[in-house]
Chains A and B, each alone.
Chain A
Amino acid sequence: MPQNSNSLHSNTDTDVAILTRDLQVIFGRKTILKGINLSVRRGQIIGYIGPNGAGKSTTIKAILGLIPEYTGEIRIFDRDIADGNVDYKKGIGYVPETAEIYDALTAQEYLTFIGRLYGMNERKAQRKARELMQILDLDGAFQSRLSSYSKGMKQKVLLISSLLHNPDILFLDEPLSGLDANSVSVVKDILAQLAQNGKTIFYSSHIMEVVQKISNRILLLKDGEVVADGTFEELSRQAGDTSLEDVFNDITGFHEHRDIAAEFVAALEEV
């Protein structure tokens, strides 16, 4: 199945936002990524899924330049990121899975700081941060410390911080975590509209329903390899399943969920 992605390789295409060739990451004796080949076009929403420890965040970290010891090639808008110039990151927004945030700062301070790191000027970063906070109904808390925020509020701030500089590529790791249903709808629509405007979104999540709904291409990673790549329709046709969850379980070779559940419940009742 990984070979399927070869057809997507058209290296001269300037519409290719992210390109990796034989991306490998080895930590000590452990091989985390065993040669990832990706070609992602502008305007695509990629659902990047896989079991825990498959290498999803490692891929994203490598693309963000956090893992310099990778082998293979990573190109962002046809520029090799190994050239030592970090400017390519100006076009990238990132919501980390760990939701790390300096919560001793106020939202205003934090967002302005992030804006400055992305090379925006202070005033513009602040104006934009305030505006976006207002739209997401957080203007009342703009001057409060992030430590006083609820989980959902923090998540919104993280989203804003990843979008503040209007990036072309977005890496989102569980971006909906902690958001209430209304906010989830808003964020989903934001992502859809951003993709329409030509932004590339790398969406990583364990919630298959959402991934199935919002992404127009799904990449399934297992043990450091891409084991499925295609639209949901293609994958479900191949696997003969109706939901992404079933596709996921099929491809990762996981069929015992019913047995495990039965065993679990039985063990409970033994007492």
Chain B
Amino acid sequence: MRDFLSLKILDRLRPALERLGCDYPVLRKIVQIKLTMDARRVPTVMMNNSRRNRQENVERNTFVRSLWLYGVMGIALLPFVLTSENYLFQMSIAFAILMFLVTTSMISDFSSVLLDVRDRAIVSTKPVTSKTVSLARTVHIFIYLSLLTATLAGPGLIGGLLRHGIGFFLLFLMLVVLADVFVLVVTALLYLLILNVFDGERLKDIINYVQIVLSITIILGYQVIGRSFAVFKLHIVFHAAWWQVLVPPFWFGSVFTWLPGGHAVGSAPGAEIVVLTALAIVVPCAMFALYIRLMPAFERRLEKLSTDTARNRKGSHVVLEWIAKLICRTDEERTLFQFSSWMMARERDFKLKVYPSLGLSIAFPFIFMLNPAMESSFHSLASSKWYLAIYMTALMIPTVVSMLKYSGKYKAAWIYQVTPISDLGSVYRGVLKAFLVRLLLPVYILESIVFTAIFGFSVIPHLLAAGLAILIYAVVCYWAMDKDLPFSKPFEVVQQGKRYLVLVLMLVIALLAIVHLLFTLIPFGIYIYIVILLVANVIIWALGFNTQRSATSG
């Protein structure tokens, strides 16, 4: 076990931590154990980097290795830090971005740490005070949060130092720490509230949704931030106002107005600024005190989380059965369809990895249309052929399809070996259909509604054609990937090598869109295209899977 650098820094905080009432040597040991385990774990969120380390002794924290990504994101803060038009405005925006990114990654990356129920059985049963356990947990999260914030705010901090000098830099640094404390505490208190009202399952669902929102926002955010320089050209006159009391980033932004040249207007700081600044300092400190007090309650809630029994679910079975009968031909296929549908909807690990991709599927078509929409008027967009952007919905299909063979409970796949499955083709068909119906169809319907709203009813045949083309595309994707039994491999072995394949498959989408475009040039071409696609679908779904029967052994 290594002695981590962060532990050495922690040693300096020993007196402060002991004053909060913890047993420092034990706390240090707990944190050290946690850091060691993290170094060996492949975190869920970093699935893109998760290549299994064959040599067991290589201990590198994958989180630390993926930090550079946050550094890149942090560049988004630069335009706001570098200008000196209006400190209140620019730094409030900078803090809004910073706090948003920190909060969302806090929820998506560190929820598992905050909600680790194993600690209850292993650590809390030992002669360790709950205060020490809670503080160890807090320190553990704070170490990561500091790393994350340091990289996120890094470009901004350096930019600020060079542009506005050391005073600005130190102020920025201090406020970033306060903002971190604020975010950590608010998240924990939010969880406490949710756990008080709902059960643990619901909390996990909420965490799931936040992860989806995070991935969509990052993609969309870059589209917007690229244009953010334009905002400054507008020469915004922006003053402190009372409503800003409700928006935490303004608290932090307001502090900068105290710097020389801070307020563009040139007057002395008004009452609003004084209050906002006071909030920036008082609220995080007060909330931290509250947090320390409420941590034991939090620990107790965790006990509830670990003992909660799941509620009975009912309802969708009938509909699902009906769909299964409608679209599956053999019993085996129907069985696999239903099984896969349940797994996709419920397996936590699977959802964590796949649902963010689906979120992107929703966002992609609109990102694609953003440019033409901004350059020309909305009307010219509506009469254009930009509805072909619907094909972007399919962009995530290769990624998702390649995930269908993974599961957190992959060991349960022995069931395939001991049951007499005669036709693997129907297994694959069932799984793929489940994906299309359960995951892709809702996304596509949602897109279609919005597209119809934008382009009018005349777009419906095009949406239909695109949908049919995407069905074929899904088969092609599945066909191009390694054929493995569904939910039968651990997530840790997700390979990197398939990246090029995913890229090639993404190009195929462009090809499909071009074919579609060509058909629109012929009168009634779209209807001809639909007929061709229908026939192609029938053939490909009937024959596309049979080839594998001999290729794979159960």
Q: Which A residues contact B (CB, under 8 angstroms)? A: 27, 61, 64-69, 86-90, 92, 94, 96, 98, 100-102, 104-105, 109, 113-114, 116-119, 145
Residues of B within 8 A of A65 (CB): 124-125
- Cα A101 to Cα B122 in complex, Å, equals 7
> A89 contacts B304, CB within 8 Å?
no
Contacts known (A64-B125, A65-B124, A88-B127); A116 close to B26, Cβ less than 8 A: yes
- Cα A64 to Cα B1 in complex, Å, equals 29
| CB under 8 Å from chain A, chain B span 254-285 | none
> A102 contacts B127, CB within 8 Å?
no
> A113 contacts B128, CB within 8 Å?
no
Decide if B375 is an interface residue (CB 8 Å cutoff).
no
> A116 contacts B127, CB within 8 Å?
no
Contacts known (A94-B125, A101-B122); A68 close to B300, Cβ less than 8 A: yes
| CB under 8 Å from chain A, chain B span 51-65 | 56
CB distance from A218 to the nearest CB of B (A): 24
Candidates A89, A98, A117, A118; contact of B121 at CB < 8 Å: A98
Interface residues contributed by chain B, number (CB under 8 Å): 27
> A96 contacts B37, CB within 8 Å?
no
Contacts known (A86-B129, A98-B121, A102-B118); A117 close to B41, Cβ less than 8 A: no
Residues of B within 8 A of A104 (CB): 36-37, 40-41
- Cα A101 to Cα B121 in complex, Å, equals 9
9 closest A-B pairs by CB: A89-B127, A117-B126, A100-B121, A104-B37, A96-B121, A104-B40, A90-B127, A64-B125, A86-B127
Contacts known (A66-B120, A105-B37); A89 close to B1, Cβ less than 8 A: no
CB distance from B358 to the nearest CB of A (A): 30
Residues of A within 8 A of B460 (CB): none
- Cα A67 to Cα B242 in complex, Å, equals 45
Candidates B25, B30, B124; contact of A66 at CB < 8 Å: B124
Digitize B1-16: 1 where CB-to-A-CB distance is under 8 Å, 0 elsewhere. Answer: 1000000000000000
> B56 contacts A96, CB within 8 Å?
no
> A86 contacts B128, CB within 8 Å?
yes
Across the interface, name the chain A residue whose C-beta is closest to B309: A53
Of B1, B33, B36, B127, chain A has the most CB atoms within 10 Å of the CB of B127
CB distance from A91 to the nearest CB of B (A): 9
CB distance from B413 to the nearest CB of A (A): 19
Residues of B within 8 A of A118 (CB): 126-127
Decide if B163 is an interface residue (CB 8 Å cutoff).
no
| CB under 8 Å from chain A, chain B span 106-136 | 118, 120-129
CB distance from B122 to the nearest CB of A (A): 6
Decide if B303 is an interface residue (CB 8 Å cutoff).
yes
Decide if B29 is an interface residue (CB 8 Å cutoff).
yes
Across the interface, name the chain B residue whose C-beta is closest to A110: B33
Q: Which B residues contact A (CB, under 8 angstroms)? A: 1, 25-26, 29-30, 33, 36-37, 40-41, 56, 118, 120-129, 296, 300, 303-304, 307
> A109 contacts B1, CB within 8 Å?
yes
Residues of A within 8 A of B124 (CB): 64-66
CB distance from A89 to the nearest CB of B (A): 4
Of A86, A87, A92, chain B has the most CB atoms within 10 Å of the CB of A86
Across the interface, name the chain B residue whose C-beta is closest to A108: B1
Residues of A within 8 A of B1 (CB): 109
Of B29, B125, B307, chain A has the most CB atoms within 10 Å of the CB of B125
CB distance from B57 to the nearest CB of A (A): 10
Residues of B within 8 A of A87 (CB): 127
- Cα A68 to Cα B304 in complex, Å, equals 12
23 CB contacts below 8 A, A to B, read A64-B124, A66-B120, A66-B124, A86-B129, A89-B125, A89-B126, A89-B127, A96-B121, A98-B121, A102-B118, A102-B122, A104-B36, A105-B36, A105-B37, A109-B1, A109-B33, A113-B29, A113-B33, A116-B29, A117-B26, A117-B123, A117-B128, A118-B127
Residues of B within 8 A of A101 (CB): 122
Residues of A within 8 A of B37 (CB): 102, 104-105
CB distance from A172 to the nearest CB of B (A): 13
- Cα A69 to Cα B307 in complex, Å, equals 15
Residues of A within 8 A of B36 (CB): 104-105, 109
Candidates B121, B122, B129, B304; contact of A27 at CB < 8 Å: B304
Residues of B within 8 A of A114 (CB): 122, 126
- Cα A94 to Cα B124 in complex, Å, equals 11
- Cα A114 to Cα B124 in complex, Å, equals 11
- Cα A113 to Cα B30 in complex, Å, equals 8
> A69 contacts B125, CB within 8 Å?
no
CB distance from B123 to the nearest CB of A (A): 6
Residues of A within 8 A of B121 (CB): 96, 98, 100
CB distance from A206 to the nearest CB of B (A): 19
- Cα A16 to Cα B25 in complex, Å, equals 33
Residues of B within 8 A of A92 (CB): 125
- Cα A259 to Cα B130 in complex, Å, equals 49
Across the interface, name the chain B residue whose C-beta is closest to A96: B121
Residues of B within 8 A of A90 (CB): 127
Residues of A within 8 A of B40 (CB): 104, 145
